[in-house]
């Protein structure tokens, strides 16, 4: 048994300059990334962005083309998967269909040569953890998808991994079940604080589960941060579009000083300013980000004429699609404190401090 701290937090996971290329395909460009002990980090990105590649480098199913992987202080770059003490959960469960639930969970302990009594004790504990106490004797085919996924989770947890890796584990479940298992995963993580790297392309899932999210695109980690950081201070228009709802208006940078960027926004017919970000330069293509909750209907100050094209009531909130004179569409969200008919002529303004000029990508 490891020390109390190691048990409750697992070990940190660190990539330094880790890359993977296949011929001319750069599946993962040189990446530095540190997952803290006990942290739940999600890799979020579109298909082909390198999520599975990064996870497989941690698991030891792939060796990096360059760079290193550390678990705790140990350089595991050339250590095979079975000597890393990582737990892996796959999208398709990868359970042994002809074994019982208990034997599936016991497998990793048996190959490690643990005594029978200890195997039985730990299997029972792992099944209790995922709330499948009475299912040990069942055949895998007699379980629902959600139950099978929990067996896969128990099998990964039973070895008390230093790092738990999950690659789209809920991908095969329907939406409702996915929500339930998501909350279970969160509860399990809060109880055990095992270092976890989780892959998904579902932003909502990432925000529900994670301490931090790493957004990936084209084999790169574009930005890493908490949900609030990614939402409030996205590094570029891609991240802004991937996290939450957004209006991203074409813009052109006209001036950059030490602290402030200024951009021309044709749809608004004016120049705006916001904090300067890396990648913003005079003449460079940019986007103006306005979150739907930062648009205001019929404000006292300056505003543009717009027509209400669509009205969707979301309980206490209402979502409006507005069309400006030049055809630009804006999404606005506000409290549903008054009836707004489709086709209404309105004025739309914005909170100037909430505007963000972002590099295109
Ligand atoms: N064995 C391989 N040979 C060649 N190219 C590969 C191989 N494995 C992955 N790639 C390429 O590397 C890139 C990253 O793949 P990866 O599987 O990491 O993406 P992903 O983010 O997990 O995508 P998805 O969401 O579809 O699972 C892709 O362009 C993919 O085509
Ligand atoms: Mg993948």
**Residue 303 sits in which domain range?**
245-359
What pLDDT, on a 0 to 100 scale, did the predictor assign at position 8?
Answer: 57
- Domain CATH number, residue 168: 3.40.50.300
138 and 217 in a single domain? The answer is yes
Of the CA atoms within 13 Å of residue 123, those in its CB half-sphere come to 22
Is any atom of ligand 1 closer than 6 Å to the C-beta of 45?
Answer: yes
299 and 171 in a single domain? The answer is no
CA 102 – ligand 2 centroid, Å: 28
- From the alpha carbon of 22, which atom of ligand 1 is closest? 4
274 and 317 in a single domain? The answer is yes
Q: What is the pLDDT of residues 13-66, one digit of tens each?
A: 999 999 999 999 999 999 999 999 999 999 999 999 999 999 999 999 999 999
Q: Mention every residue, 6+ apart, whose C-beta is less than 8 A from residue 46.
A: 201, 217
Overall average pLDDT of the 297-310 stretch: 93
Q: Considering only CA atoms, which of 6, 7, 174, 185 is closest in space to residue 89?
A: 185
Q: What is the pLDDT of residues 147-167, one digit of tens each?
A: 898 899 899 989 889 999 999
The answer as to whether 353 is a domain residue is yes
Distance between CA atoms of 207 and 210, rounded to whole angstroms? 6
44 and 133 in a single domain? The answer is yes
175 and 88 in a single domain? The answer is yes
The answer as to whether 324 is a domain residue is yes
207 and 334 in a single domain? The answer is no
CA 154 – ligand 2 centroid, Å: 22
Give the residue, by CA position, lying nearest to ligand 1 atom 26: 47
Helices within 85-235 (DSSP H only): 101-111, 116-129, 145-157, 175-192, 203-209, 227-232
- From the alpha carbon of 23, which atom of ligand 1 is closest? 4
Of the CA atoms within 13 Å of residue 279, those in its CB half-sphere come to 15
Ligand 1 binding pocket mutation candidate from 15, 24, 50 (most atoms within 8 A of CB): 50
Q: What is the pLDDT of residues 248-286, one digit of tens each?
A: 999 999 999 989 999 999 999 999 999 999 999 998 889
Count of CB atoms within 10 A of residue 187's CB?
A: 12
Q: Is the pLDDT of residue 129 over 90?
A: no
Overall average pLDDT of the 186-204 stretch: 91
Is any atom of ligand 1 closer than 6 Å to the C-beta of 52?
Answer: yes
The answer as to whether 238 is a domain residue is no
- Structure tokens given for 326: 């030049």
| Greatest C-alpha distance within the chain | 76
177 and 283 in a single domain? The answer is no
The answer as to whether 22 is a domain residue is yes
The answer as to whether 341 is a domain residue is yes
- Domain CATH number, residue 343: 2.40.50.140
What pLDDT, on a 0 to 100 scale, did the predictor assign at position 90?
Answer: 85
223 and 256 in a single domain? The answer is no
Q: Is 94 left (phi over 0), alpha (psi -120 to 50) or beta?
A: left
The pTM for the full model equals 0.88
216 and 345 in a single domain? The answer is no
Q: How many domains does the chain have?
A: 2
What pLDDT, on a 0 to 100 scale, did the predictor assign at position 171?
Answer: 81
Paired strand residues for 214: 43, 224
The answer as to whether 215 is a domain residue is yes
What pLDDT, on a 0 to 100 scale, did the predictor assign at position 111?
Answer: 86
Among residues 232, 264, 296, the one where a domain terminates is 232
| Range in 20-24, 102-106, 167-171 the model is least confident about | 167-171
62 and 102 in a single domain? The answer is yes
Give the residue, by CA position, lying nearest to ligand 1 atom 24: 47
Is any atom of ligand 1 closer than 6 Å to the C-beta of 27?
Answer: yes
152 and 275 in a single domain? The answer is no
The answer as to whether 239 is a domain residue is no
Ligand 1 binding pocket mutation candidate from 24, 44, 49, 166 (most atoms within 8 A of CB): 49
80 and 144 in a single domain? The answer is yes
Overall average pLDDT of the 181-185 stretch: 86
CA 217 – ligand 2 centroid, Å: 12
Among residues 209, 232, 255, the one where a domain terminates is 232
Among residues 173, 198, 232, the one where a domain terminates is 232
Q: Considering only CA atoms, which of 188, 176, 105 is closest in space to residue 145?
A: 176
Is any atom of ligand 1 closer than 6 Å to the C-beta of 24?
Answer: no
The answer as to whether 240 is a domain residue is no
Overall average pLDDT of the 133-139 stretch: 93
């Amino acid at each position: 048994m490891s020390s109390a701290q190691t048990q409750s937090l697992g070990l940190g996971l660190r990539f330094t300059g880790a890359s993977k290329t296949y011929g001319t395909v750069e599946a993962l460009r040189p990446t530095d990334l540190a997952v803290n002990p006990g942290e739940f980090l999600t890799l979020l990105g579109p298909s082909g962005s390198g999520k599975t590649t990064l996870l497989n480098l941690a698991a030891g199913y792939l060796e990096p083309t360059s760079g290193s992987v550390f678990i705790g202080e140990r350089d595991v770059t050339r250590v095979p998967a079975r000597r890393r003490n990582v737990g892996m959960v796959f999208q398709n469960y990868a359970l042994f269909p002809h074994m019982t639930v208990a034997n599936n969970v016991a497998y990793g302990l048996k190959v490690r040569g643990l005594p029978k009594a200890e195997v039985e004790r730990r299997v029972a504990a792992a099944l209790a953890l995922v709330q499948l106490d009475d299912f040990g004797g069942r055949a895998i085919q007699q379980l629902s998808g959600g139950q099978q996924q929990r067996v896969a989770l128990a099998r990964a947890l039973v070895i008390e991994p230093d790092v738990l890796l999950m690659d789209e584990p809920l991908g095969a479940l329907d939406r409702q079940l996915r929500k339930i298992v998501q909350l279970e995963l969160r509860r399990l993580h809060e109880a055990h604080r095992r270092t976890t790297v989780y892959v998904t392309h579902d932003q909502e899932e990432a925000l529900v589960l994670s301490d931090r999210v790493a957004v990936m695109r084209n084999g790169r980690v574009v930005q890493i941060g908490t949900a609030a950081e990614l939402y409030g201070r996205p590094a570029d228009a891609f991240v802004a579009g991937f996290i939450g709802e957004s209006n991203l208006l074409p813009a052109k940078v006209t001036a950059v000083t030490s602290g402030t960027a200024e951009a021309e926004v044709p749809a608004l017919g004016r120049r705006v300013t916001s904090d300067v970000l890396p990648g913003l330069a005079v003449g460079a293509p940019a986007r103006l980000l306005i979150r739907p909750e930062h648009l205001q209907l019929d404000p006292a100050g300056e505003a543009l004429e717009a027509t209400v094209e669509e009205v969707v009531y979301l309980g206490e909130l209402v979502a409006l699609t507005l069309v400006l004179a030049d055809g630009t569409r804006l999404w606005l969200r506000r409290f549903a404190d008054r009836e707004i008919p489709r086709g209404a002529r309105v004025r739309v303004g914005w909170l100037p401090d909430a505007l963000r000029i972002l590099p295109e990508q």
